[in-house]
């Protein structure tokens, strides 16, 4: 992927897409193509095809998706499966028709079975039942992975899929109705601190274990893969840190970083989700890539960004 290549970042305003965009700019890539949702509806098949035929990008980062936490996935399953299937099908097929050199599809660690052996290897895909709370989203992402594999096999394309673990970072979604667990907890603890609340209520038992990857590390991994020849079974790759912690441990770490001094209470009436989600990252390590940002360092950067955006009600 030389510096003269035309690169399309789909979903450039989201958590992942904006980080990939920053990474490309830092590396002095100048022919970067972006389109806002108002400029290009990725759910519109004809519009997407016309865009690809007009622009003829050489490389595509497919980071556009409808995403959310347990509550959002459980409440809007039809939207999650329809919007993600449509976006993926339109972009991947148009990339093939316009002869894109290489496409990177952003999957998710939720594609793996609920009770997959830990840490989860890429080979675990489709070996068991999914976690019910995010089944629609997971099925859409699995379809995207299999679509990339099918096009590679039939048309000899270079479409690769990456499975990031739970992501967080600047430009995250902090809406308590639709966000993932980490940004939701950051906001809850911060608002409890501002309002002198005696306790913070956290969903579930606190026992499930999760792995968290700072989004700029994911962007670094995605560009790393675009710059290398990855073929065969390595067209699917896990991206994570290889370490996890319980939701209780995460809550206590966020409590410390925010500076909240009240109590943490867990609500066992709320769903826990998958008991554990730890990725096997040996494929990426063999290729020469490892995550660099520690969880505590990443949380501090994310919290500082959140506060400085004015979202949180005051500035540091």
pLDDT in tens, the chain (316 residues): 889 999 999 999 999 999 999 999 999 999 999 999 999 999 999 999 999 999 999 999 999 999 887 778 888 999 999 999 999 999 999 999 999 999 999 999 999 999 999 999 999 999 999 989 889 999 999 999 999 999 999 999 999 999 999 999 999 989 887 778 899 999 999 999 999 999 999 999 999 999 999 999 999 999 999 999 886 657 899 999 999 999 999 999 999 999 999 999 999 998 887 788 899 999 999 999 999 999 999 999 999 999 998 655 443 3
CB contact burial 119-134 (16+ within 10 A = b; e otherwise) = bbbbebbeeeebbebb
Is 25 contained in some domain?
yes
Is 191 contained in some domain?
no
Sign of CA dihedral 293, 296, 300, 302: positive
68 is in an annotated binding site: no
Is 59 contained in some domain?
yes
- What order of strands is seen across the sheet that includes strand 209-210? 245-246, 209-210, 276-277
Is 142 contained in some domain?
yes
- Joined tokens for residue 240: 């994570």
**Contact of 100 with 59, CB cutoff 8 Å:** yes
**Contact of 299 with 257, CB cutoff 8 Å:** yes
Phi then psi for residue 207, to 5 deg, are -85, -30
108 is in an annotated binding site: yes
Is 113 contained in some domain?
yes
Is 75 contained in some domain?
yes
Give the model's pLDDT for residue 313.
47
Distance between CA atoms of residues 212 and 223, nearest Å: 19
Beta-carbon count within 10 A of 230 CB: 20
Query: Domain tally for the chain?
Result: 1
Is 289 contained in some domain?
yes
Distance between CA atoms of residues 84 and 11, nearest Å: 12
CA–chain centroid gap for 145, Å, is 14
Is 190 contained in some domain?
no
Distance between CA atoms of residues 105 and 141, nearest Å: 9
Distance between CA atoms of residues 272 and 268, nearest Å: 8
CA–chain centroid gap for 277, Å, is 14
Terminal C-alpha separation, the chain:
40
Three-state SS for 276?
Answer: strand
Give the model's pLDDT for residue 244.
96
Give the model's pLDDT for residue 315.
38
Distance between CA atoms of residues 9 and 15, nearest Å: 12
25 is in an annotated binding site: no
255 is in an annotated binding site: no
17 is in an annotated binding site: yes
Give the model's pLDDT for residue 310.
63
Enumerate the active-site residues: 137
Distance between CA atoms of residues 26 and 72, nearest Å: 34
Q: pTM for this one?
A: 0.92
Name the helix (H) or strand (E) containing 32: strand 32-33
Sign of CA dihedral 241, 242, 246, 247: positive
- Among residues 194, 200, 199, which one has the least CA distance to residue 176? 200
CATH code for the domain in which residue 237 is found: 3.40.50.720
Domain span at residue 135? 7-172+211-242+278-293
* Furthest C-alpha separation in the chain: 60
The DSSP output letter for 281 is: -
């Amino acid at each position: 992927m030389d510096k003269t290549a035309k690169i399309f970042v789909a979903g450039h305003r989201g958590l992942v897409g904006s980080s990939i965009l920053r990474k490309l700019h830092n590396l002095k890539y100048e022919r970067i193509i972006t389109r806002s949702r108002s400029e290009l509806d990725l759910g519109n098949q004809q519009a997407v095809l016309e865009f690809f035929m007009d622009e003829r990008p050489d490389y595509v980062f497919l980071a556009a998706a409808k995403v959310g936490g347990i509550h959002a996935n459980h409440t809007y399953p039809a939207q999650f499966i329809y919007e993600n299937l449509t976006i993926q099908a339109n972009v991947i097929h148009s990339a093939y028709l316009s002869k894109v050199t290489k496409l990177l599809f952003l999957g998710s660690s939720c594609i793996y079975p609920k009770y997959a052996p830990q840490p989860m290897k890429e080979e675990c895909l489709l070996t068991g039942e999914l976690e019910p709370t995010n089944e629609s989203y997971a099925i859409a992402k699995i379809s995207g992975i299999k679509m990339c594999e099918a096009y590679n096999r039939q048309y000899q394309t270079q479409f690769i899929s990456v499975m990031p673990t739970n992501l967080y970072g600047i430009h995250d979604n902090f809406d308590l109705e639709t966000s993932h667990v980490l940004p939701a907890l950051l906001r809850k603890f911060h608002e409890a601190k501002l309002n002198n609340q005696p306790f913070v209520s956290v969903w579930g038992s606190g026992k499930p274990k999760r792995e968290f990857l700072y989004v700029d590390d994911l962007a670094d991994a995605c560009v790393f893969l675009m710059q290398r020849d990855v073929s065969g079974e390595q067209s699917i790759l896990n991206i994570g840190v290889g370490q996890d912690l319980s939701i209780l441990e995460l809550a206590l770490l966020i409590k410390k970083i925010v500076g909240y001094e009240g109590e943490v209470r867990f609500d066992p009436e709320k769903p826990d989700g998958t008991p554990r989600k730890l990725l096997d990252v040996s494929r990426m390590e063999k290729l020469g890539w490892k995550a660099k940002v520690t969880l505590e360092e990443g949380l501090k950067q994310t919290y500082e960004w959140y506060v400085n955006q004015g979202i949180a009600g005051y500035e540091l």
